[in-house]
Amino acid sequence: MDAILASSFDDAASMVQQIGETVGVVAFAASGALIAVRRNLDIVGIVFLAVMTALGGGVIRDLLIGRTPPVAFTDFTFLVAAALTGLVIFFWHPPAALQRWPLEVTDAVGLGLFVVTGTAVGYQWGVAPPAAALLGLITGVGGGVIRDLLSGRIPAVLRTDEPLYAIPAFAGAVVTTTVMHFDWYRPWIGLSCAALITVVRLAAVKYSWHGPRPHYVGR
Amino acid sequence: MDAILASSFDDAASMVQQIGETVGVVAFAASGALIAVRRNLDIVGIVFLAVMTALGGGVIRDLLIGRTPPVAFTDFTFLVAAALTGLVIFFWHPPAALQRWPLEVTDAVGLGLFVVTGTAVGYQWGVAPPAAALLGLITGVGGGVIRDLLSGRIPAVLRTDEPLYAIPAFAGAVVTTTVMHFDWYRPWIGLSCAALITVVRLAAVKYSWHGPRPHYVGR
Amino acid sequence: MDAILASSFDDAASMVQQIGETVGVVAFAASGALIAVRRNLDIVGIVFLAVMTALGGGVIRDLLIGRTPPVAFTDFTFLVAAALTGLVIFFWHPPAALQRWPLEVTDAVGLGLFVVTGTAVGYQWGVAPPAAALLGLITGVGGGVIRDLLSGRIPAVLRTDEPLYAIPAFAGAVVTTTVMHFDWYRPWIGLSCAALITVVRLAAVKYSWHGPRPHYVGR
């Protein structure tokens, strides 16, 4: 009886996890495709950048925990979702004047969902809690870093003009891993955590919150 | 009797596979070394870029399927072939006026062979056919992406002025994996597939075939 | 009796290995953090670049030999040491006029220690001696390549104006693996090897030793 409850609860949790990852994939794929459109790439470049942005973080995470082949090569939902998103953006994309916010929003939504789902995957795989938080951060940030490297930009997390990005992500990963460690994790808690990361990141963009700079002596 | 035939057939197939991979390694090593010469790098940079270009795609493929250490670290034929190719190009390289076509041809030959051998390796490792095609694409494109990232260029697959590259590669990977799935794979079919990828890619360069661009609203 | 001696000797060897790796981590973290300060990155960028530079080479090595999760995700000494180094450099860093040499020295010290410890890890993991030397080279060079890629520079090993870098590293890796192969390896030999790599690299910087360039016909 308990086992059945636990199992159906686990099913619900894993369904939420799956949905969260898929929405994150679509959001990151859209962010990669929008950058590709802005750079006037052709259809191949758009789909390629969409897929690399959407799947890159999870593939790095899976390589690090030794889950090979990575889930992106066994469950094709993610690959198809990312490629379709790239195609949709190819045919329809917001006019240029609107492109900054769509990009920021899709990126922030993907970041929040990937940090939480990446942390959960790491934790369930059995790594220590700090490593799970780190894996969540890498899952969230990895896709964007690959996207920026491939399109010849310095990664957002290292740009001097970029508002807070890694700090909300890492804070969210620490909260998620703590919650899991004390066995309080519920799907809605994970989603709240993801939403909080997204909101804090977008607030940082809106209100130009930056991390402290070093006092640079030379110049 | 059947087993002996099958085994000697397998030996022939695996010899063709080995030869194909080695020729692909030499071709990609030459393409990396030629770019390094054009950039006026020293001997270390030339050999380094030759080796990374030649072995990068296969190493990524092996990491993704969990074959560690990657074959480049256990069968030194590939490493030695790549390094020797770099040294040969260091001492002898075509005059500058001729360098565009040698580069395009070596890169296209490497692409064709690596896509087919990469797909075959993935399929034989037991991944699903679509994943095998994807691994073939990654094996073929990976070395060039690493070469371009390391030498500070945007990867060919993402350059707006670059003729079709990933489309013939992916089409060839899909054909290879389909042929293997229906158990029709023979060494000469694999080689034809590789040749076709090479020819289509070179025709794309010659006749400037490009993928469709999005209708970009802003400007 | 012999076993006890061997074991306490192994303990000493592994302690030296651990200390060597930690000092290498601090040195590379400092080099990443100094570049980040020079680029006026904020505190997150500084710690991020410090950690990636310090742990990147070892993580790549561990992925290549299939040791997952990589040691950086199981033994947090390295992560904490790298992050703390980044924080220290954030609050205190040498004035700009002095920044070239601190950067060269920290990088060279990290290079020497990582090449030797990386080779030793590869050898003890059971790969063939040439592969162990290659893993040592990758461990030593990897972190710096990641640092340079992330901060938008062409990796040192490929810059035309850069004095000898990979040659002393590879020579040191070959010596280390040879010494291990003949069972002559002692902690002080490893440390001497690391010191030699560091000294040769710094001498190359000081006296502008460059590798030979190809005779480039075009221009």
Closest CA to B132 of B188, B191, B64, B213: B64
Burial A186-211 (b: 16+ CB within 10 A, else e): ebeebbebbebbbebbbebbeeeeeb
Q: How close is the nearest chain A Cα to the Cα of C197, in Å?
A: 30
Q: What is the pLDDT of residues A83-132, one digit of tens each?
A: 999 999 998 877 765 667 888 888 899 999 999 999 999 999 989 999 99
What confidence tens digit (pLDDT) does each residue in A137-162 have?
999 999 999 998 888 888 877 887 78
CB-CB under 8 Å, B63 with C165 = no
Instruction: Name the pLDDT band for B72 (thresholds 50, 70, 90).
Output: very high
**Interface touch A130/C76, C-beta < 8 Å:** yes
Phi first, then psi, for residue C41 (nearest 5°) are -70, 160
Say if the ipTM goes beyond 0.90: no
Residue from the list A38, A43, A49 with its beta carbon closest to the beta carbon of B158 = A49
Give the C-alpha separation, C109 to C112, whole Å: 5
- Which pLDDT score, from 0 to 100, does residue A2 have? 45
* Residue A199: per-residue pLDDT: 95
What are the structural domain ranges in chain C?
A: 2-207
Alpha-carbon gap: A218 to the closest alpha carbon of chain C (Å): 4
Quick one: average pLDDT of A170-189?
90
DSSP A66: T
Percent pLDDT > 90 in chain A is: 53
- B218's CB contacts (< 8 A; 6+ apart) are A38, A95, A96, A97, A99
How many CB pairs lie under 8 A apart between chains A and B?
88
* Residue in A44, A85, A92 to test binding to B, most B beta-carbons within 10 Å: A44
Nearest-CA residue of chain C relative to B39? C160
In this predicted structure, what is the pLDDT of residue B19?
A: 84
- Report yes or no: A8 and A33 within 8 Å, Cβ to Cβ: no
Return mean pLDDT, chain A.
Answer: 86
Residue C158 is nearest to which of B48, B69, B73, comparing CB atoms?
A: B48
- Rounded CA separation A162/C69 (Å): 31
* DSSP letter for each residue of chain B: -HHHHHHHHHHHHHHHHHHHHHHHHHHHHHHHHHHHHHTT--HHHHHHHHHHHHHHHHHHHHHHHT-SS-GGGT-HHHHHHHHHHHHHHHH----GGGSHHHHHHHHHHHHHHHHHHHHHHHHHHT--HHHHHHHHHHHHHHHHHHHHHHTT---GGG-TTPPS-HHHHHHHHHHHHHHHHTT---HHHHHHHHHHHHHHHHHHHHTT--PPPP-----
Identify the segments of chain C with pLDDT beneath 70. 1-13, 96-99, 216-219
- What does the angle CA B54 – CA A45 – CA B107 come to, to the nearest 5 degrees? 25
* pLDDT tens sequence across A1-31: 344 444 555 666 677 778 888 999 999 999 9
- pLDDT, one tens digit per residue, over C159-204 is 877 888 889 999 999 999 999 999 888 888 889 999 999 999 999 9
What CA–CA distance (Å, rounded) separates C114 from C23? 9
User: In this complex, which of C65, C154, C214 lies closest to B37 when CB atoms are compared?
Assistant: C214
Confidence (pLDDT) at B1: 39
Mean pLDDT for the stretch of residues B18-31:
90
Give the model's pLDDT for residue A6. Answer: 47
How much is the pLDDT for C89? 92
Q: Which residue does chain C place closest to A135, by CA atoms? A: C73
Q: How many CB atoms lie within 10 A of CB B1?
A: 5
